Structure 1
Amino acid sequence: METLAVDNKDVATTQKAVAGKPGIQTLRVDRKEIVADGIVRLRLVEPNGGRVPFWTPGAHIEVVVPQADGEALSRHYSLCGDRWDPHVYEIAILNDPKSKGGSKYVHEELAVGDMVTVGTPRNNFPLSQAKHFEFIAGGIGITPFLKMIEAAEQLGASWHLNYGGRSTDSMAFLDTLADYGDKVTLWPQDEKGFMDLSYLSEPVEDGRVYCCGPEPLLNVVQKAAENWPSWAVRFERFVPATLPAPVRTEPFMLDLARSKKCVEVGTDQSVLAALTDAGVPVLSSCNEGVCGTCEVAVLKGKPEHRDSLLNDAERERNDRMFVCVSRAVSDRLELDL
């Protein structure tokens, strides 16, 4: 097995995959342990005793892993360790049978002592201030809530977690969650069936709903919480939401305020691709509107938001867009580029 070592050509491969992105670090796998059926937790440390960037509850990091064909895959995983430890990151990864190779590599090849390339923490799922939180997790979607729960406790807010999985064997961090008693309700599907979300029909004053998990769960929660204000319900998705065809199929123009350029976006072209072709590079990663790396400020015009990050209220402001997937409704968009 060819591991991702510091003096290995794979480091060059993974560094190339994130070339130009700020805050890239190469960390060592200090610990790898099974925490549930099909889930491993990795402890990543700065190999020379240096510091890693600070992060907040809900944040994720980009992890780049090599592939047999010499290319690299970029994946995003929620941070779930001690955020006050300035030298360590912890992530938990599901061995997804539908994986394109990222989780398979982590589970089957990555070993303690190997090196991995990671990006700076990014938080598209931040914890808002509120008096009450409803946390809803499905499977590996539990990871961002471990630190959110800690933060809610420290803030003195009330909270409740519904956590579902195929079985208790497939549900990670049950020992940690047991400390919270009846604030946590477990829903192993083989014992209790599907999660009862009827309680979401009535909004809670100064409350928030946070949900992370597979798409079917997110769809059910969205329906159950339809009486809540849109800004009070937040989702974090593993994969982009299913969307209809773009509203506008004709080309449109981009006016770039800082570089004084005018760029045309073609019918079958993304905004990101048009900007890159015009020599205006924008940092990007997932190219699916999930990770939030390619966020750009919108100064004028109306974008068509096709990302899986913004809520309805944020979309209505039309002050930002994710250029890897979003397009335009108006003939022109002015961007802060």
Structure 2
Amino acid sequence: MTIKLIDVVITAREDQGAGIAVLELARPSGDELPRFDAGAHIDVHIGDNFIRQYSLSGNSENKNSYRLGVLNDPNSRGGSVKLYQEFKKGQLIKISEPRNHFPLAADAKKTILAGGGIGITPMISMAYTLRSQGKPFELHYCTRTKGAGAFELELLQEFPEQVIFHYDDGGDEQLFSPEKLFLPYDADLHIYVCGPTGFMDWVINNAKSYNYPSEQVHFEYFSADVDVTGDAFEVYCAISDITVSVGEEDTIVRALAAAGVKVDVSCEEGVCGTCITDVLEGEPDHRDHFLTEEERSDNDQMALCCSRAKSKRLVIDL
């Protein structure tokens, strides 16, 4: 599948907080960009070797520009650091059209938005949408200390009654508390969370422990530690009529590439969904952070970049 790319120019860059670049993107012609819904992200192509996903953090009613927040994270795989250090105002870059794996639930009567660090970016577009729809929500922004995050002034100005800041150094009363927010269980409440993996896992696991079903707990990972090792197994590509062996330290994507079967990949950490492929036979060993629990239990699709097999053989639709 050929992905259509869009040429955009960085029309503004503002450094905020502790190493966060806020970038505004627009078409060089000034024409409208493809519409997006709250929670959507784009792929940013960084040179020839990097493709990274960034949430759109602006108001979805803005038709002429996109906004990103990019953290200068030395622990990342290099894409964010490169973008933060090298992307300047006036620079031309290529992006994908928006995709949304993190949409707002249309039937939610109450919403809690929880953003940890740079994970605040998709929450901002959600806040604008919920406000325009007249729906009640709370926006919780968790950072290490006051001033470390981006968009703080905007959030105070735009959502003074909904935004609540939580600082790690602000004392126990100011810390984000799932127990206070999620109890007692509320069938009308939907929870959205984005941020560092540890923060997300903590919020999600708390919500589940308080009996919130998966359809009321929404999340999107943009990076994750993943173990791709395991016992060797065989993969047969039904369309290509090619069989490959995936070794203990190998991945399906690498084994297929060595056999001449190309798989579109992006994150290679099981978070973006680019390499999701239908499974025709066999039982996957799911290692991704993209598929829902229900989708995993169906065992009819898998992330080829990181997941393995519980059965000796998989048949996939490639």
Of 78, 82, 104, the residue aligned with 2:81 is 104
Deviation string 1:16-73 (CA, Å, 9 cap, x unpaired) is xxxx75122232111111233321211111113344333221121222324xxxx643
Q: Specify the alignment match of 2:9 in structure 1.
A: 28
Q: Aligned partners of 1:272 and 1:53: how far apart in 2? A: 31
Structure 1, 50-59 or 73-82: larger mean CA deviation:
50-59
Is this contact kept in 2: 1:231–1:311, CA < 8 A? no
The one-letter code sitting in structure 2 at the alignment partner of 1:215 is T
2:267 to 286, 302, 306: 286
- Aligned residue type for 1:120: E
Paired letter, 1:210:
Y
Report the counterpart of residue 315 of structure 1 in structure 2.
296
* 1:186 to 2:168 alignment: no
Counterpart contact for 1:21–1:283, Cα < 8 Å = no
Q: Partners in 1 of 2:251 and 2:75 — Cα distance?
A: 26
Q: How does 1:196-275 map to 2 (within 5 A)?
A: 196-199=177-180, 200-225=182-207, 226=209, 227-243=211-227, 249-256=231-238, 259=239, 261-267=241-247, 268-275=249-256
CA contact (8 A) 1:255 1:332 kept: no
Q: Distance in 1 between matches of 2:215 and 2:251?
A: 28
CA shift, 1:94, in A, is: 1.4
State the shift of 1:231 in Å: 3.1
- Structure-1 separation of matches of 2:316 and 2:103: 25
Task: Judge conservation of contact 2:233–2:309 (CA < 8 Å) in 1.
Answer: no
Pair 1:159-2:141 in alignment: no
Question: Following TM superposition, by how much is the alpha carbon of 1:289 offset from its aligned partner in structure 2, in angstroms?
Answer: 0.7
The answer for the alignment partner of 2:101 in structure 1 is 124
How many residues are treated as equivalent by the alignment? 310
TM-score, with length taken from structure 2: 0.87
Unaligned runs of 5+ in 2: none
Amino acid at match of 2:138: H
Report the Cα offset of residue 301 of structure 1: 3.0
Kindly state the Cα deviation for residue 122 of structure 1 after the two structures are TM-superposed: 2.4
Q: 1:316 to 1:157 in 2, by over 3 A?
A: farther
Match status 1:47 vs 2:28 = yes
- Identical-residue share of aligned pairs (%): 34
Question: Residues 164-199 of structure 1, C-alpha deviation per residue, up to 9 Å, x if partnerless?
Answer: 111221122223322333422210222235322213
Conservation of the 8 A alpha-carbon contact between 1:241 and 1:308: no
2:124 pairs with one of 113, 130, 146: 146
Note the aligned Cα RMSD (angstroms): 2.4
Separation in 2, partners of 1:113, 1:213:
29
* Structure 1 SS opposite 2:212: coil
- The answer as to whether partners of 1:201 and 1:224 remain within 8 angstroms in 2 is no
Find the partner of 1:82 among 50, 56, 59: 59
Aligned residue in 1 for 2:113: 135
The alpha carbon displacement at 1:285 in A equals 0.9
Structure 2 CA distance for aligned equivalents of residues 160 and 113 of structure 1: 36
Question: Within 2, Cα distance between the matches of 1:280 and 1:72?
Answer: 19
Q: SS of 1:152's equivalent?
A: helix
Distance 1:282 1:106 in 2: 25
Say if 2:176 is the partner of 1:195.
yes
Alpha-carbon distance in 1 for matches of 2:146, 2:220: 22
The aligned counterpart of 1:175 is 153
